[in-house]
Amino acid sequence: MRIFSGIQPTGRKHLGNYIGAIRQYVAGQRRAQEAGDLAIYSIVDLHATTVSYDPAELRERCLDTTALLLAAGLDPELCILFRQGDVPEHTELTWLLCSVTAHGDLNRMHQFKEKSDSQRELVSAGLFLYPVLQAADVLAYRADEVPVGEDQRQHVELMRDIAERFNARFGDGQQILTVPAHRIPEVGARIMDLQHPERKMSTTGGSDEGTVYVLDEPEAIRKKLSRAVTDSGTEIVRSLEKPGVTNLIDILAASRDVEPAQVEEEMAQARGYGDLKAAVADAVVEMLEPVQARYAELRGDEAALEDVLAAGAERAREIAGPTVADVRAVMGVGPPPAR
């Protein structure tokens, strides 16, 4: 069982990213290894160039993201961690896969529509091809499993279609490319904005007040939680009528790594929502403090971070290179393969 996922080097990572994605990555490296395979994670700088961006800042954000992933527990001995742009196979495979990608399918991608609406100067062709690059990311490693958020479901469906169409068109009965499956976590998908608990916590669509960032100072975390929107009533239980309280229970459970039902049981003795908020703040601070300390240490040594990425890229190319060679060979591209 091989795992692949990509993470954007843009924006500050928040609690939803941490609980939903980053912790899944950390768990995935063990799971993959126990299954005798690998977890491969990429910081997708090429994807970040599809919307307006600043080149110098992109470099910084890649290192921020690398340091954060390492601080959260990714171990370059257990997984492959690399920067997408360091592995040219991704761009080459993107072009090759374009031949089995339907223009009409790309036109139907929700994220393309949303992101193109928010671009002021230019809707780049790269933004349109973004899902093909994402397919190349995963298919280059013949990954089986793709841990992603709910918002990426359509992109994973598309890469499955691309792999199936490629095998049907060029495979001559063989599975040249592996058809991957998504793995959408139940918990992180549900971390909501503290001010607008009907909306997901988000860097772009959310409120700053309602978004807890992984690198927020403990004081800021406590403040945001103390101001979290709750609901009428006093009972600390999850229910559809209580989105604010439900969200706080979910965050507390995820931070302590227990079931929400257990939190409800413990909180039955609480005096009110104030107790709940304080408990959530304690648990979140306790979860994030060690990550923040390690981050500060790692982020200070850029040369060491570049070394980690370079070693990761080398290992990544050892896998992606042969895949691209197979793809070229069956597509009739370039010189005939040496026999």
Q: With contacts defined by CB under 6 A, how many residues of the chain interact with ligand TRP?
A: 12
Residues in the chain: 339
Minimum distance between the CB of residue 14 and ligand TRP, rounded to whole angstroms? 13
Does 93 bind ligand TRP (CB under 6 A)? Our answer is no
22, 129, 138, 279: which one binds ligand TRP (CB under 6 A):
138
Site for ligand TRP in 288-327 (CB under 6 A): none
137, 144, 216, 250: which one binds ligand TRP (CB under 6 A):
137
DSSP E strands in the chain: the ranges are 3-7, 39-43, 80-83, 145-147, 181-183
Minimum distance between the CB of residue 141 and ligand TRP, rounded to whole angstroms? 10
Site for ligand TRP in 25-44 (CB under 6 A): 44
Nearest CB to ligand TRP, comparing residues 134 and 246: 134
Does 146 bind ligand TRP (CB under 6 A)? Our answer is yes
Does 47 bind ligand TRP (CB under 6 A)? Our answer is yes
**CB-based contact 56:133 (threshold 8 Å):** no
**CB-based contact 230:236 (threshold 8 Å):** no
Interacting span for ligand TRP (CB under 6 A) from 131-139, 167-175, 250-258, 264-272: 131-139
**CB-based contact 176:170 (threshold 8 Å):** yes
Minimum distance between the CB of residue 108 and ligand TRP, rounded to whole angstroms? 16
Nearest CB to ligand TRP, comparing residues 206 and 260: 206
Residue holding tokens 């800021």?
Answer: 220
Using the 8-state DSSP alphabet, how is residue 2 labeled? Answer: -
Interatomic CA distance for residues 307 and 313, integer angstroms: 10
What stretch of H or E contains 49? none
Residue whose C-alpha is closest to residue 90's, from 130, 51, 147: 130
Does 94 bind ligand TRP (CB under 6 A)? Our answer is no
Minimum distance between the CB of residue 41 and ligand TRP, rounded to whole angstroms? 9
Does 202 bind ligand TRP (CB under 6 A)? Our answer is no
* Assigned token pair, 35: 């299954």
Minimum distance between the CB of residue 191 and ligand TRP, rounded to whole angstroms? 15
**Alpha-helix runs per DSSP H in 73-212:** 89-98, 103-107, 110-118, 125-139, 153-170
Interatomic CA distance for residues 309 and 133, integer angstroms: 20
Helix (H, G, I), strand (E, B) or coil at 156: helix
Does 10 bind ligand TRP (CB under 6 A)? Our answer is no
Question: Where do contacts with ligand TRP occur on this chain (CB under 6 A)?
Answer: 4-6, 8, 44, 47, 134, 137-138, 146, 148, 152
